[in-house]
């Protein structure tokens, strides 16, 4: 009897050991092994790498920093490839700006020629040579002077720069705009936080602002903890005075924590018509601020559920993934099998959407969008016009020697006490090794029922560049979303979407009154029992900005019941039965 019981216990034990093997197939969302034709048939679209045919030949160059950091230079100089989309000359075709970072490198402004090709006009418009002092990290377009033309903010390690758009012909640097003289900024967004009709700026600092990365006093520049760091750069909220200058409203707004901010995005999350703010921090927890009627921001990070579980936040973007009229937040982190399984966050709203203080729950696991890799920018958009917002995520940190990894040394020092981890001298020499390099992007396709499937390779997204920024944009005015991917030390790629079958769509270009920026405008589209919300934002993702237009895929819908527009000033407009397969230009 004893032997029998022992045998049963042993079988129980063995069955426990077998469970991981049985569950493994359920822990992959990738369908890279399916045939390309089957993928097209199943998902209704594919990507074509149109980089060359579009005439885009941009290659990012990393910044060269103080040689005291040579041991970990590939890590430190691992950011700077950004992309921002706008129709800067108002010719009806989307253009895009790319940031470079090497001291001799030039940023690029690709003007859409309307024939499927682009021309780099950065040099002749005056926004190319910005990296002699400092290094560009990204850029965002925003019409801060309400003249109807998108102006350009280039944020940098060093002094960020603001350029006024001169009627779509060229740009003029705005001197003494009130931007910080010196800071290490890794994210910036435009938002009209006080709803006075003038766009304000949020800047997120990464390294402390007193650190000159080209002339270091010492090497104590690293985070004082891998997940609980308190020594990051300060953030800035700059209020637009309306005279071409900005005043520092950070203290009074309450945006004072010193986290290592890498991404921020703004949208109205509690339906009070004021823009709220989500901040994604490396080496720490995320922050969520609710706008208190334009007077200040109230920190509800912990109350809302997003302020626990410190990870390596690198992205902030919004999407209505269930077509229920509520915005979710997607935040990228690190997922390295066997080493560090933070997982990306999909913050789904819970409770009442109109609650003053919304509550979120991380549902990335259940929706299948958790395991990205070492993830950076992510954007929502309906890539196949099936009526559901998909998710494009780029991955990869440092792609160097393919045969060796820096993970052991990375894990060793990140386990150390403040005095060890915070000094770059204590970080082992990378010696050309990779750190989570050569990773695929994820093209997560939304089935509309709470499940995403990654089909990137099968759909034609095969590059293994160290992706940083992503922008979704209808580059060729075809009623589909193409994708621009900017990668570190690699070419920028244009993924042209080819949607098969007869799927419908509708898009909106929004023009608030008095030439105001459309940032903050919200559109709700109702069709076939679905209701999808999107909001024009002033930058989202990581060092990225999507097109200004709002694009809604409609699948097989025969008609759109109605659209509801809420303008930045809170007023609303409803349009019934708008025409489909059309870009609607709507003025307030």
Among 134, 158, 343, 349, binds another protein (CB under 8 A): 343
Among 3, 5, 529, 587, binds another protein (CB under 8 A): 5
The residue among 13 and 515 lying less far from another protein, judged by its C-beta, is 13
Site for another protein in 10-29 (CB under 8 A): 10, 12-13, 16-17, 19-21, 23-24, 27-28
Among 67, 147, 218, 341, binds another protein (CB under 8 A): 341
The residue among 303 and 573 lying less far from another protein, judged by its C-beta, is 303
Single out the segment in contact with another protein by CB under 8 A; choices: 225-233, 382-390, 457-465, 510-518.
225-233
The residue among 413 and 559 lying less far from another protein, judged by its C-beta, is 413
Residue 263 structure tokens:
């991404």
Single out the segment in contact with another protein by CB under 8 A; choices: 6-14, 157-165, 443-451, 532-540.
6-14
From the CB of 75, what's the least distance to another protein, in Å? Answer: 14
From the CB of 353, what's the least distance to another protein, in Å? Answer: 24
The residue among 429 and 502 lying less far from another protein, judged by its C-beta, is 429
Helix, strand, coil percentages in the chain from 3-state DSSP, rounded to 5: 15, 40, 50
Question: Taking the chain, what is the end-to-end CA distance rounded to the nearest angstrom?
Answer: 83
Strands of the 390-395 sheet, one edge to the other? 375-381, 390-395, 442-446, 452-454
Name every residue whose Cβ is closer than 8 Å to that of residue 418 and which is 6 or more positions away in sequence: 224, 225
The residue among 82 and 372 lying less far from another protein, judged by its C-beta, is 372
Single out the segment in contact with another protein by CB under 8 A; choices: 7-15, 121-129, 145-153, 496-504.
7-15
Taking CB under 8 A as the rule, does residue 301 contact another protein?
Answer: no
The residue among 131 and 422 lying less far from another protein, judged by its C-beta, is 422
Q: From start to end of 34-130, where are the E strands?
A: 45-49, 82-86, 95-99, 108-112, 118-120
Taking CB under 8 A as the rule, does residue 224 contact another protein?
Answer: yes
Under 8 Å between Cβ of 205 and 262:
no
Taking CB under 8 A as the rule, does residue 221 contact another protein?
Answer: no
The residue among 17 and 587 lying less far from another protein, judged by its C-beta, is 17
Length of the chain equals 588
Residue 448 structure tokens:
């509309």
From the CB of 3, what's the least distance to another protein, in Å? Answer: 11
Number of amino acids touching another protein (CB under 8 A): 54
Residue with the two structure tokens 């160059």: 61
Site string for another protein, 71-90 (x = CB under 8 A): --------------------
How far, in Å, are 365, 382, 485, 555 from residue 138 at the CA level? 30, 24, 13, 34
Under 8 Å between Cβ of 377 and 467:
yes
Taking CB under 8 A as the rule, does residue 330 contact another protein?
Answer: no
In angstroms, the CA 111 to CA 118 distance is: 5
Among 101, 136, 225, 544, binds another protein (CB under 8 A): 225
Among 413, 575, 580, 583, binds another protein (CB under 8 A): 413
In angstroms, the CA 452 to CA 440 distance is: 16
Single out the segment in contact with another protein by CB under 8 A; choices: 287-295, 410-418, 457-465, 565-573.
410-418
From the CB of 442, what's the least distance to another protein, in Å? Answer: 15
Instruction: Give the number of C-alpha atoms closer than 13 A to the C-alpha of residue 570, restricted to the C-beta side.
Output: 11
Hey, which residues does 350 pair with through a beta bridge? 359
In angstroms, the CA 190 to CA 162 distance is: 12
Single out the segment in contact with another protein by CB under 8 A; choices: 2-10, 60-68, 259-267, 471-479.
2-10
In angstroms, the CA 160 to CA 157 distance is: 7
From the CB of 6, what's the least distance to another protein, in Å? Answer: 7
Site for another protein in 414-443 (CB under 8 A): 414-421, 425-429
Hey, which residues does 187 pair with through a beta bridge? 204
Neighbour tally for 415: CB within 10 Å: 10
Site string for another protein, 35-74 (x = CB under 8 A): ----------------------------------------
Instruction: Give the number of C-alpha atoms closer than 13 A to the C-alpha of residue 468, restricted to the C-beta side.
Output: 32
Single out the segment in contact with another protein by CB under 8 A; choices: 223-231, 315-323, 506-514, 518-526.
223-231
From the CB of 310, what's the least distance to another protein, in Å? Answer: 8
Site for another protein in 349-368 (CB under 8 A): 364-365
Taking CB under 8 A as the rule, does residue 309 contact another protein?
Answer: yes
Q: From start to end of 198-338, where are the E strands?
A: 200-205, 236-240, 246-248, 260-267, 276-282, 287-292, 296-299, 317-319, 328-331, 335-336
Residue with the two structure tokens 């820096």: 406
The residue among 131 and 344 lying less far from another protein, judged by its C-beta, is 344
φ, ψ of residue 435 in degrees (nearest 5) = -135, 105
The residue among 100 and 453 lying less far from another protein, judged by its C-beta, is 453
Taking CB under 8 A as the rule, does residue 347 contact another protein?
Answer: no
Under 8 Å between Cβ of 206 and 184:
yes
In angstroms, the CA 190 to CA 540 distance is: 10
Single out the segment in contact with another protein by CB under 8 A; choices: 219-227, 315-323, 392-400, 501-509.
219-227
Taking CB under 8 A as the rule, does residue 218 contact another protein?
Answer: no
Hey, which residues does 240 pair with through a beta bridge? 246
Q: Sign of torsion, CA 41 43 44 48?
A: negative
In angstroms, the CA 489 to CA 482 distance is: 22
φ, ψ of residue 13 in degrees (nearest 5) = -60, -45
Under 8 Å between Cβ of 54 and 111:
no
Taking CB under 8 A as the rule, does residue 403 contact another protein?
Answer: no
Binding site for another protein (CB under 8 A): 2, 5-6, 8-10, 12-13, 16-17, 19-21, 23-24, 27-28, 224-228, 308-309, 337-343, 364-365, 370, 405, 407-409, 411-421, 425-429
């Amino acid at each position: 009897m004893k032997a029998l019981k022992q045998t049963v216990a042993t079988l129980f034990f063995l069955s426990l050991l077998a469970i991981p093997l049985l569950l493994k197939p359920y822990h992959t969302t990738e369908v890279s092994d399916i045939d390309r034709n089957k993928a097209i048939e199943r998902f209704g679209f594919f990507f074509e790498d149109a980089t060359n045919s579009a005439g885009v030949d941009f290659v990012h160059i990393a910044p060269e920093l103080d040689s005291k950091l040579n041991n970990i230079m590939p890590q430190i100089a691992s950011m700077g490839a950004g992309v921002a989309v706008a129709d800067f000359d108002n010719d009806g075709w989307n253009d895009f700006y790319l940031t470079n970072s090497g001291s001799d490198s030039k940023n690029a402004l690709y003007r859409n020629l309307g024939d499927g090709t682009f021309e780099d006009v950065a040099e002749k418009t005056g926004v190319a040579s910005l990296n002699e002092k400092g290094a560009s990290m990204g850029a965002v377009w925003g019409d801060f002077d309400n003249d109807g033309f998108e102006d350009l903010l280039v944020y940098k390690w060093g002094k960020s720069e603001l350029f006024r758009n001169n009627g779509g012909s060229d740009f003029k640097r705005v001197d003494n705009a009130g931007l910080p003289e010196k800071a290490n900024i890794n994210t910036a967004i435009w938002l009209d936080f006080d709803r006075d009709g003038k766009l304000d700026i949020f800047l997120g600092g990464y390294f402390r602002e007193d650190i000159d990365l080209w002339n270091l006093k010492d090497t104590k520049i690293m985070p004082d903890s891998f997940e609980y760091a308190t020594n990051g750069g300060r953030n800035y909220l700059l209020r637009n005075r309306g005279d071409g200058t900005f005043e520092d409203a950070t203290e009074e707004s309450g945006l004072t924590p010193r986290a290592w901010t890498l991404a921020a995005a703004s949208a109205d999350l509690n339906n009070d018509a004021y823009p709220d703010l989500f901040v994604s921090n490396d080496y720490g927890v995320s922050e969520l601020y609710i706008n208190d009627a334009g007077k200040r921001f109230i920190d509800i990070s912990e109350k809302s559920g997003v302020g626990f579980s410190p990870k390596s936040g690198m992205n902030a973007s919004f999407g209505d993934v269930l077509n229920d009229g509520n915005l979710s937040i997607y935040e990228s982190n690190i997922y390295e099998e066997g080493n560090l399984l933070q997982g990306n966050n999909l913050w789904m709203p819970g409770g009442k959407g109109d609650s003053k203080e919304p509550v979120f729950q991380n549902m990335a696991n259940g929706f299948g969008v958790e395991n990205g890799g070492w993830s950076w920018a992510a954007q929502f958009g309906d890539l196949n016009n099936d009526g559901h917002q998909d998710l494009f995520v780029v991955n990869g940190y440092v792609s160097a020697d393919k045969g060796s990894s820096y993970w052991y040394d990375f894990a060793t020092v990140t386990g150390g006490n403040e005095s060890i981890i915070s000094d770059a001298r204590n970080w082992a020499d990378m010696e050309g090794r990779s750190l989570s390099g050569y990773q695929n992007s994820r093209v997560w396709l939304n089935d509309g029922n709470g499940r995403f499937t990654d089909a990137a390779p099968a759909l034609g997204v095969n590059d293994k560049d160290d992706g940083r920024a992503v922008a979704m944009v209808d580059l060729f005015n075809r009623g589909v979303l193409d994708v621009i991917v900017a990668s570190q030390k690699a070419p920028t790629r244009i993924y042209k979407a080819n949607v098969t079958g007869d799927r419908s769509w509708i898009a909106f270009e929004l023009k608030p009154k008095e030439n105001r920026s459309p940032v903050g405008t919200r559109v709700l589209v109702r069709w076939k029992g679905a209701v999808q919300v999107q909001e024009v934002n002033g930058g989202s993702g990581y060092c990225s900005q999507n097109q200004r237009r709002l694009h809604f895929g409609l699948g097989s819908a025969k008609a759109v019941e109605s659209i509801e527009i809420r303008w930045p000033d809170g007023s609303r407009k409803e349009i019934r039965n708008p025409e489909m397969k059309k870009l609607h230009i709507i003025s307030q």
